[in-house]
Amino acid sequence: MLTEEIQELTNRYVMNTYDRLPLSIVRGQGCQVYDAEGRAYLDCVGGIAVNALGYGHPDLIASIKRQIRQLIHTSNLFYTEPQAKLARELAEQSFADKVFFANSGAEANEAAIKLARKYSHQHFGPDRSEILTMVNSFHGRTLATLTATGQTKVQLGFEPLVPGFKYVPFNDLQALEANISEHTAAIMLEPILGEGGVVVADADYLKAVRNLCTARNILLIFDEIQTGMGRTGTLFAYQQFGIQPDIMTLGKGLGGGMPIGACLATDEVAKVFTYGTHGSTFGGNPLACTAALQVIRILLEGEELKRSQERGAYLQKMLFTLKENFPIIKEVRGRGLLQGLELSVDGKPIVMDCLARRVIINCTMGNVLRFTPPLIITQTEIDSLITILSNVLTKQALTTTHP
């Protein structure tokens, strides 16, 4: 089918919940994707930080093929080797002792919310259930996680929302302390606000939050759905800040394209989840777990994690070079291969102009260009991105000067 036919069929039968780009992707290889007409595009979105190893990674494909032939699904009525091994790997590579598997990041956050409330109810009683989250955070689209999300625009029309959430400004310790009460069970935050504009948490702020939670017996939840799995240069972003959460959620890049989410916790917290308190039919199925295991092995046993650090530093350096040349760039921010350019103008025309030049980028918060390419992106491909961006921004500057 051609792009126009695919779009027409989609518009006719699929609910209209996405502002899609006028592009129908049919295959991918490395950091390149191809549309229905065979045109190649440099993908600097990577499935929104999902395709950590790009497209068509041979080792990932081989492991998935082997597992498909052997076993795709059994449900959690039974034990499976891939799930057990993935849980062990995640625990050994992190602060955690136990893992709950889900199908997505939103479901992992649902598990974290339930776990925190269950823990607090068991230890402090039912009046301690409130969770503090950050203004401009994003935690998912389920009813509880969109309530946890500190953005009114995703909540409108879905009221009444789930009670027991309160929002505080990000990176503002004083505001956080002022909102803690005897009802506070947990603080939930992203080390970097992804959908919220690629805003990085201050190291001193995170350390102070950790100390505050410890002193007040409040659980600290890190949503690392976007920052996890090497995205920021380490396997998990929290490892760069010298602290540990009590609960952490993963998704997106964990499966390298296969849908999977995970909620990790210390044993002290995890043990309040007992038989029947939570569950998922598809969560941790053998196919998704096999893919996630392979992703971790490739990141840790090969050179991909190290190379992603180098490429992230290079990308940020080149973005700063752009900032020196284009006044409409207000700020460059991010870590590793999660980078953002805050503009003084609307970002969508720039996204569309880049697309016309065969480069896929993303815009969030209306004016922040977000870059989440596969971790395998090369320096040459980064140079291509910067060249295209420079051309587009030059055109934008000329249009602004000479309307």
| Rounded Cα gap, residues 227 and 230, in angstroms | 7
- Give 174-189 pLDDT, tens digit per residue: 999 999 999 999 999 9
Statement to judge: residues 248 and 386 lie in one domain = no
Are 262 and 315 in the same domain? Answer: no
Q: Which pLDDT does position 303 carry in this prediction?
A: 81
**pLDDT at position 344, please?**
95
**Mean pLDDT of the region 222-251:** 97
CATH number, domain of 10, equals 3.90.1150.10
Pairing of β 329-335 and β 338-343:
antiparallel
Residue 16 shares a structural domain with residue 73: no
d(CA 283, CA 266): 20
Q: Read off the pLDDT of residues 376-385 as tens digits, 9 standing for 90 and up.
A: 999 999 999 9
* Type of residue found at 51: N
One domain for residues 284 and 380: no
Q: What is the pLDDT of residue 396?
A: 82
Residue 400: the pLDDT is 64
Q: What are the tens digits of pLDDT across the range 237-254? A: 999 999 999 999 999 999
> What mean pLDDT value characterizes the chain?
96
d(CA 250, CA 229): 8
Give the C-alpha separation, 303 to 285, whole Å.
28
The CA R_g of the chain, rounded to the nearest whole Å, is 21
Percent of the chain with pLDDT over 90: 96
User: 6 pLDDT exceeds 60?
Assistant: yes
46-91: pLDDT as tens digits: 999 999 999 999 999 999 999 999 999 999 999 999 999 999 999 9
pLDDT of 10 reads 96
> Is there a single domain that holds both residue 170 and residue 254?
yes
Condensed to tens digits (0 to 9), the pLDDT of residues 334-346 reads 999 999 999 999 9
Q: What is the per-residue pLDDT across 115-162, written as a single tens digit (0 to 9) for each?
A: 999 999 999 999 999 999 999 999 999 999 999 999 999 999 999 999
Residues 309 and 276 in one domain: no
User: Whole-prediction pTM value?
Assistant: 0.96
Q: How far apart are CA 232 and CA 254, in angstroms?
A: 14
Residue 326 has pLDDT above 70, yes or no: yes
Residues 127 and 261 in one domain: yes
* Residues 266 and 324 both lie in one domain: no
203 and 286 in a single domain? The answer is yes
Quote the pLDDT of residue 307.
85
Retrieve residue 6's tokens: 């695919």
Q: What is the domain-level CATH number for residue 181? A: 3.40.640.10
Evaluate if residue 104 carries a pLDDT over 80.
yes
The verdict on 210 and 328 lying in the same domain is: no
- Please give the DSSP secondary-structure letter assigned to residue 225: T
Regarding whether 132 and 65 lie in a shared domain, the answer is yes
Question: In which band, very low, low, confident or very high, does the pLDDT at 273 lie, cut at 50, 70 and 90?
Answer: very high
Host domain of residue 147 = 59-301
Domain count for the chain, please give it.
Answer: 2
Q: Give the C-alpha separation, 313 to 268, whole Å.
A: 37
Among the candidates 278, 301, 324, a domain finishes at 301
Last residue of a domain, one of 250, 275, 301: 301
Q: Please choose, from the candidates 336, 315, 275, 331, the residue with its C-alpha nearest in 3D space to the C-alpha of residue 42.
A: 315
Same domain, 206 and 238: yes
Q: What is the pLDDT of residue 79?
A: 97
**Eight-state DSSP code of residue 73:** -
The residue out of 301, 331, 349 marking a domain boundary is: 301
Residue 401 — very low, low, confident or very high, per pLDDT cuts 50/70/90? low
Find the mean pLDDT for residues 212-237: 97
